Chains A and B, each alone.
Chain A
Amino acid sequence: MGESPLHPSFMEVPMGDEDRIRPVGEREVRRLNRRELLKLAPLAVMGAFAVPGLGERLVNRGLALSDRAAERFFRRGRLAPTFSDRELTPLERFPINSYSAYDPAADLANWTLMVGGLVQRPGEYTLAQIRELPRRAQNVRHICIEGWDVIGNFGGVRLSDFLDFVGADPAARFVEVTCLDDYYSSYDMESCRHPQTLLCDEMYGRPLTGEHGAPLRIHMPVKLGYKSAKYLYELRVSNVLRREKGFWEDQGYSWHGGI
């Protein structure tokens, strides 16, 4: 074993020299054991995680650190894999999660998307206006924070195109949405500008059904499913996040949610 410069051992006895060096006495052995044990003492700080209240605050910071890492790691140019129609999960086997199982039954005829915040053209936008933007459809994986995934077909317009359409401030940092079912969420602008991030009004080539978020939802293959808010109602562009960052996010899910 190599000599490690990190750990000089004052007790080292060269081979063959044992008789010339007086063996260390019992007290010295105890002192030495204590010394070595003390080197493990910093591990006691881990006990902070076991303190009620403090532990939760610490792991909250841990999540925030992970969020920052994910946000820094994110590149708009990296595309989520796309799939052939054969690989699609059939629409009837596309799961609907508990919160959004409540269908607020939007008044489709009179529905508009309210747009506000740092945009040049705030106001109400009809579905027909939104649908005039270049359309695209994609077969992408939808990954739920719970651990399941499905491959779905999502159609609509790029959120990026819509942001340009309403004249969103190019330097703005966030997009916040509110939904008809009182769900709400917020996003980093980088992810909103990702080419596969859609304002989605169709799934599997048909208008969104009630349980999938009619008439308009967000779909982001670059984020976990809870970030793909359904039943959009209001969209704001901003530089400062409100205290309410998202329905699940406020309860402890990752804010960034990027995958």
Chain B
Amino acid sequence: MAVTKSGLSIRSAEVEIAGRRETLAREHPWPVRFAHWLNAISLTVLTASGLQIFMAFPSFGPKIPQRDLLHVPEALRLGGWLGGALQWHFSFMWIFAATGAAYVAYLFLSGHWRQVILRPQDVRGVWPMVRHYFLFKPKPEQTEPYNPLQKLAYTSTIVCGLASVATGVLLYQPTQLAFGAGLIGGFGWVRVFHFAAMLGFLAFIPGHLVMVALHGWNNFASMLTGWKRNPDYLKRP
């Protein structure tokens, strides 16, 4: 066990690579990595098939007169036609929901949530990170695996996941669950909110990919093997 500068304990190992002593920190336990890559697949399938489904009626208004909001290029769609896309969507919704449930359960049962979830004391650290990334100010000290902005982003994805599953269930059964659907304005609005939940993910993913690209192999590999070499957030003994 090592301890981060912020006081979280994290599993670690001392290793010798090319004659040099290094510290490995196990940032991502395997359930997290497993869920991460499974979600990457599910979200891709659900988004692409969802866009194909949306193209059957690419509007949120009345059917007559219909005003289309957008045209999704063929390359971004999955399923070929509405019926095919629904089959993909109705298959991967189970995988996505099950992965999400298992991940959230793991977070809280294992205590790993402390590394991921934005806590009240993290909030004041968000703005300095925003200033660093967007206004090129100096980088605040990294005191644990995720900085406050990352925690905000990752916590938001959990919220998006819950929102997309909840609105998805209502969209699937708006009549059997008429009370729930009615609470957010009925079928038409459920559809809007389900779309909005997808937009939440779409807002997260490009930034996520850019940051992964910027932070290099050591960081990327940690989502494959769990281990990160010589992280700067560990407290030196």
Binds B, one of A29-37, A118-126, A203-211: A29-37
CB distance from B143 to the nearest CB of A (A): 14
Cβ contacts under 8 Å, A134 to chain B: none
CB distance from A75 to the nearest CB of B (A): 7
Q: Are B173 and A258 in contact (CB under 8 A)?
A: yes
Cβ contacts under 8 Å, A60 to chain B: 87
In the complex, B141 has a CB within 8 A of chain A: no
A158 to B175: give the CA distance in the assembly, Å: 18
Q: Are A74 and B176 in contact (CB under 8 A)?
A: yes
Q: Are B87 and A24 in contact (CB under 8 A)?
A: no
Q: Are A43 and B21 in contact (CB under 8 A)?
A: no
List 14 interface pairs A-B (beta carbons < 8 Å), by A numbering: A4-B110, A6-B31, A12-B1, A26-B15, A59-B88, A59-B90, A63-B86, A70-B173, A73-B173, A79-B178, A147-B53, A148-B59, A252-B86, A258-B175
A161 to B191: give the CA distance in the assembly, Å: 34
A95 to B67: give the CA distance in the assembly, Å: 14
Q: Are A70 and B172 in contact (CB under 8 A)?
A: yes
Give the A-binding residues of B (Cβ under 8 A): 1-3, 8-18, 21, 24, 26, 29-31, 33-34, 37-38, 41, 45, 53-54, 56-57, 59, 62-64, 66, 81-84, 86-88, 90-94, 110-112, 114-115, 172-176, 178, 182, 186-188, 191, 221, 224-227, 237
Q: Which of A25, A58, A74, A248 contacts B91 (CB 8 A)?
A: A58
Q: Are B237 and A16 in contact (CB under 8 A)?
A: yes
In the complex, A132 has a CB within 8 A of chain B: no
Q: Are A36 and B227 in contact (CB under 8 A)?
A: yes
Are A145 and B86 CB-contacts (below 8 A) given A21-B14, A37-B224, A43-B37?
yes
Q: Are A9 and B14 in contact (CB under 8 A)?
A: no
Q: Are A1 and B178 in contact (CB under 8 A)?
A: no
Q: Are A26 and B16 in contact (CB under 8 A)?
A: yes
Q: Are B187 and A24 in contact (CB under 8 A)?
A: no
Q: Are A24 and B13 in contact (CB under 8 A)?
A: yes
In the complex, A80 has a CB within 8 A of chain B: yes
Are A59 and B91 CB-contacts (below 8 A) given A9-B11, A23-B15, A147-B53?
yes
